[in-house]
Amino acid sequence: MTAEAKKAPPKSYIEDGHTLRSWFFSTDHKGIAVLYLVSITLFFFVGGAAATLIRLELLSPNGFILSNDAYNRLFTIHGVIMVWFFLIPSIPNTFGNFLIPIMIGAKDLAFPKLNLASWWIFVFAGCFVIAALLIGGVDTGWTFYAPFSTMFSNGYVIPAVVGVFISGFSTILTGLNFIVTVHRLRAPGMTWFRLPLFVWSIYATSLVMVLATPVLATTLLLIFAERVFGLGFFDPQLGGDPVLYQHMFWFYSHPAVYIMVLPAFAVMSELMTAFSKKHIFGYKVIAFSSLAIAGLGFLVWGHHMFVAGESVYVGLVFSVLSFTIAVPSAIKVFNWTATMRKGYVSFDAPMLFALGFIGLFVIGGLTGLFVAATGLDVHLTRTYFVIAHFHFIMVGGTVSCYFGALHFWWPKMTGRMYPEMPGRIVALLIFFGFMLTFMPQFILGWLGMPRRYHLYPPEFQVLNVLSSAGASILAVAYTAPLFYLAWSLFYGKRAGLNPWGAAGLEWMIPSPPPRENFETVPVVTWEAYPYPLEPQPVAKEDGR
Amino acid sequence: MNPLLPQPRLALPQLSNYAAEYDWLFFAMSVFSVVFVTAIFIAILYFAIKYRAGSPADRTDRIRFRSRVILESSWSLIPFVLLLVFFVWAGKMYVAWSMPPKGALEIAVVGKQWMWKFQHPGGQREINTLHVPLGQPVKLVMTSQDVIHSLFVPALRIKMDAIPGRYTNLWFTAKETGKYHLHCAEYCGTDHSVMGGWLIVMTPADYQTWLAQAGTDLSLAGAGAALFRKYGCSGCHGANSTVHAPSLGGLFGTTVRTEDGREVLADEGYIRDCITVPGKNRVAGYPPIMPNFSGKISEGDLIKLIAYIRSLPPGARP
């Protein structure tokens, strides 16, 4: 469709080297993206295995496989791994790494060696957490609430805390790398308002990464100091304040929710335009709403503490700010929906994931309003309602988009098409399996089933069984891509430059891209999403 | 119904006026959500069918810039204003939730791994089961002696954390007798999921009978008086003391001026701090000679001491 290669195509990044060294020590952003893809997939299945065991155990109100302690360790490791070793690095470190330089017309990120270092730091951090799991586990919950985590837990808190602490450096370095890259390496003509919205949203994510993660590091360091050296920060026996911990933790962890969900917004804008073959509706509104979310995200942490002895007036302020942050998110949903209008909509697997995302994210967002409403939160907080709410956002939202992105850019990353029909089936299974898993949890929460309960009153069993049934569908649906995507690496149709007929610089270079991405620096003369694509915008050669 | 499965519970009893109003707000927000989801769903379905790749629909776009601005601002502002209605409604409930009425029956609550300890004003103790009278406001004064716990009664739609080192309040007026679940809602370790029991609401007459049967040697304040001597408090704060220590008679509920010029309300938390962190709110004009009792007095004894100090009338020297 687009500019034909004039001479023999340059070697792709995959064929650039065949040794282990060429993969593990390459500073190529695309190779590092693949390293991340493989490593977070491993973590996803470790966290997923924990989730599977949890849902299996909850089939019975009295438990039948695990002890209370084993159950507590399972949900802790599920949370720690899924949050810090899957969700936070998921879209930014794989697709962000792979696509940002290409989308802005650059050869690589601004600091390629730092990028490689981030991956090694990430793996090093992961070793600590896996070690904590293997030597006996942690029983604090992923939130590490003090003084339980510092003075009372008999799990291996320190290795887990150290692992999360180290992983923070990887996050910060990646965020920094993206910010500098977007500022400094845009191709000639690629102005800020010609950037694909993917770049805007990952840019907003990076700001949050760089600003919030240091607070997590500080907090974890204080946990370490109190647990190991008995310095009193949080335990009142030592003169500390346990609510201080919650303020510090959520000052990081609420923005971290946006580290997890803004990249999903990034993917959405690409998918909705590519499969509607239409210019995005409200480009600037979407771009600025990403920044608004990144900023407001820092001002709502107190809504986690409505019943933790926080002053009522402080609670009301955090409540109204939390309602406010719903607005930019809603705006995005409206704009994506309006993008379909007057387009040429097709329903390939990535689009099904995107539409599924809208459905699940909207439910997740609306139920977020219930828990942001102070008077309602005093009943719903710390129950399954909250569990269902944030899984709708992070799993229904982010993981759906992650799979959408995986299918959409798979041909670009590997040069092969995935088989379409299994992709569509998996997209539908994930949507319906997800609804079946988490809808009953809203009802459970409303009925008053507290979270982190190994044993529960027998009247909750029916809803728990429904939820576990949904989880078994999800387990199949999340595993299936592993097989058909692996199959496609060898037997998939060759993808060509632009299998989707999509706009964007990444679709104008070969699949898989050559090591240097572009033979010559592209000059951008068009706005983002110039649909319909005739006349085809062509990368012109630069005089430099 | 399969006899092997327990009856599923799909409705919650409305045990208080708060619960009744709660259900209205929850219902209103659910309606709002369903309307919103349906609108988005219909829009997506409509566009997906009308503008599917193969359809011959007209694609000329006549929306002008001005109408776009109006569209964007209206779909931002209208939902926001609607949300503010919910914010105000929920906020009013939250304020009510946080303000126990005067004259409420006060019950002391101590959470510990993994049980709830309750003590009534007459000194009657119970564990994991809480008996309260019907129709009378009940105020729980809660703390924890180890990690954070949270007292949760779904039938009342309320919960509150029990936090070590400070006192928190939770109040309600039960309007139906019966037996209702009471849980710990803040993760607290191994047996978190079985830390709980029952809230039992009785008629006032039955409650009096229960109090009499539960029996106790001393009321909370009475037990506190003995502790006041046992821990040596009376040595300085007592009537015959020659030490320059503040008088405690009538202290509770007054405003105290501290050495560094602040004004502090003398509530349970203040008295607790005076015992366990004496330097924090030292009363103006008194030397820093109060010993630190942190870790030397159990949570249960602290509650009794506070009850005793509270019972002292103005002017009394214990």
Q: What is the CA radius of gyration of chain A?
A: 23
For chain A, the maximum distance between any two Cα atoms, rounded to a whole number of angstroms, is 74
Residue A422 backbone dihedrals phi, psi, to 5 degrees: -60, -35
The Cα A44–Cα A460 span in angstroms is: 29
Question: A530 with A279: CB under 8 angstroms?
Answer: yes
CB–CB of B84 and A285 under 8 A?
no
A-interface mutation test, from B161, B268, B299, B302, most A Cβ less than 10 A away: B161
Pick from B8, B9, B37: CB nearest A366: B37
- Counting Cα atoms < 13 Å in the Cβ hemisphere of A110 gives 14
Q: Going by DSSP bridges, is the β-strand pair B129-133/B196-202 parallel, antiparallel, or unpaired?
A: parallel
ipTM of the modeled complex? 0.90
Interchain contact A455–B (C-beta under 8 A): yes
Pick from B91, B185, B295: CB nearest A316: B91
Residue A416 β-bridge partners: A494
The Cα B15–Cα B199 span in angstroms is: 11
Residue B39, Cβ neighbours under 10 Å: how many? Answer: 13
Question: B125 with B134: CB under 8 angstroms?
Answer: no
Interchain contact A472–B (C-beta under 8 A): no
Query: How far is C-alpha A500 from the geometric centre of its chain's CA atoms?
Result: 24
Chain B contact set for A366 (CB, 8 A): 32-33, 36-37
B-interface mutation test, from A268, A285, A382, A442, most B Cβ less than 10 A away: A382
User: A residues 27-46 near B, CB within 8 Å?
Assistant: none
The Cα A111–Cα A175 span in angstroms is: 11
User: A residues 126-185 near B, CB within 8 Å?
Assistant: 139, 141, 145, 147-148, 152-153
Q: At residue B257, does pLDDT exceed 90?
A: no
Chain B contact set for A318 (CB, 8 A): none
CB–CB of A343 and B163 under 8 A?
no
- Nearest-CA neighbor of B15 among B151, B163, B182? B182
Residue B316, SS3 per DSSP: coil
Domain boundaries, chain B: 17-49+63-98, 105-214, 220-311
Query: How far is C-alpha B168 from the geometric centre of its chain's CA atoms?
Result: 6
- Sign of CA pseudo-dihedral A503, A508, A509, A512: positive
Interchain contact A108–B (C-beta under 8 A): no
For residue A69, give both structure tokens: 């302690």
| Nearest C-alpha in A relative to B278 | A239
CATH topology of domain B105-214: Immunoglobulin-like (2.60.40)
Chain A contact set for B295 (CB, 8 A): 237
Question: How far off is chain B from A336, nearest CA to CA, in Å?
Answer: 10
The Cα B159–Cα A382 span in angstroms is: 9
List, for chain A, all residue ranges whose pLDDT scores fall below the cut of 50: 1-5, 535-544
Distances (CA, A) of B235 to B202, B239, B280: 43, 9, 22
Residue B115 β-bridge partners: B112
The Cα B40–Cα B75 span in angstroms is: 12
pLDDT of residue B246: 84
- Counting Cα atoms < 13 Å in the Cβ hemisphere of A282 gives 27
Residue B182, SS3 per DSSP: strand
CB–CB of A243 and B190 under 8 A?
no
B-interface mutation test, from A227, A363, A376, most B Cβ less than 10 A away: A376
| CA angle, A468 then A471 then A476, to 5° | 135
DSSP letter, residue B156: G
- Nearest-CA neighbor of B294 among A232, A492, A352, A384? A232
pLDDT of residue A368: 95
The Cα B267–Cα B281 span in angstroms is: 12
Interchain contact A239–B (C-beta under 8 A): yes
Pick from A61, A307, A376: CB nearest B25: A376
- Nearest-CA neighbor of B118 among B95, B94, B149, B147? B149
Q: Which residue intervals of B173-316 are DSSP H helices?
A: 204-214, 220-230, 233-237, 268-276, 299-311
pLDDT of residue A1: 43
Number of residues that make up chain B = 318
- Nearest-CA neighbor of B237 among B223, B225, B248, B250? B248
Residue B142 β-bridge partners: B109, B168
Burial A169-200 (b: 16+ CB within 10 A, else e): bbbbbbbbbbbebbeebbbeebeeebbbbbbb
Q: At residue B7, does pLDDT exceed 70?
A: no
Interface A–B counts its CB contacts (< 8 A) at 245
The Cα B267–Cα B282 span in angstroms is: 15
Q: Going by DSSP bridges, is the β-strand pair B178-184/B263-265 parallel, antiparallel, or unpaired?
A: unpaired
Question: A506 with A102: CB under 8 angstroms?
Answer: yes
pLDDT of residue B1: 39
Q: What is the mean pLDDT of chain B?
A: 88
Burial A127-164 (b: 16+ CB within 10 A, else e): ebbbebbeeebbbbbbbbbbbbbbbbbebbbbbbbbbb
Q: What average pLDDT score do residues B179-196 get? A: 94
Class of domain A28-508: mainly alpha
Question: A143 with B148: CB under 8 angstroms?
Answer: no
Burial grade of A394 (CB within 10 A; 0-12, 13-18, 19 or more): buried
A-interface mutation test, from B9, B116, B157, B170, most A Cβ less than 10 A away: B9
Interchain contact A309–B (C-beta under 8 A): yes
Distances (CA, A) of A102 to A80, A198, A199, A521, B286: 32, 12, 10, 11, 72
CATH 3.30.460.10 fits B220-311, yes or no: no
Per-residue pLDDT of A423-462, as tens digits, reads: 999 999 999 999 999 999 999 999 999 999 999 999 999 9
The Cα B98–Cα A84 span in angstroms is: 35
Residue B265, SS3 per DSSP: strand
pLDDT of residue A7: 55
Domain boundaries, chain A: 28-508
CB–CB of A341 and B68 under 8 A?
no
CB–CB of A345 and B152 under 8 A?
no
- Nearest-CA neighbor of A265 among A329, A343, A172? A329
Residue A439, Cβ neighbours under 10 Å: how many? Answer: 17
Question: How far off is chain B from A232, nearest CA to CA, in Å?
Answer: 13
Question: How far off is chain B from A4, nearest CA to CA, in Å?
Answer: 26
pLDDT of residue B214: 84
- Sign of CA pseudo-dihedral A518, A520, A521, A527: negative
Q: Going by DSSP bridges, is the β-strand pair B158-162/B149-153 parallel, antiparallel, or unpaired?
A: antiparallel
CB–CB of A382 and B159 under 8 A?
yes
Question: A15 with A520: CB under 8 angstroms?
Answer: no
For residue A171, give both structure tokens: 């996050």
CB–CB of A373 and B36 under 8 A?
no
Pick from B40, B41, B61: CB nearest A342: B61
Pick from A342, A363, A377: CB nearest B59: A342
The Cα B123–Cα A17 span in angstroms is: 79
Q: How far apart are the first and last CA of chain A?
A: 26
What counts of helices (H) and strands (E) characterise chain A? 17, 0
Question: A517 with A100: CB under 8 angstroms?
Answer: no
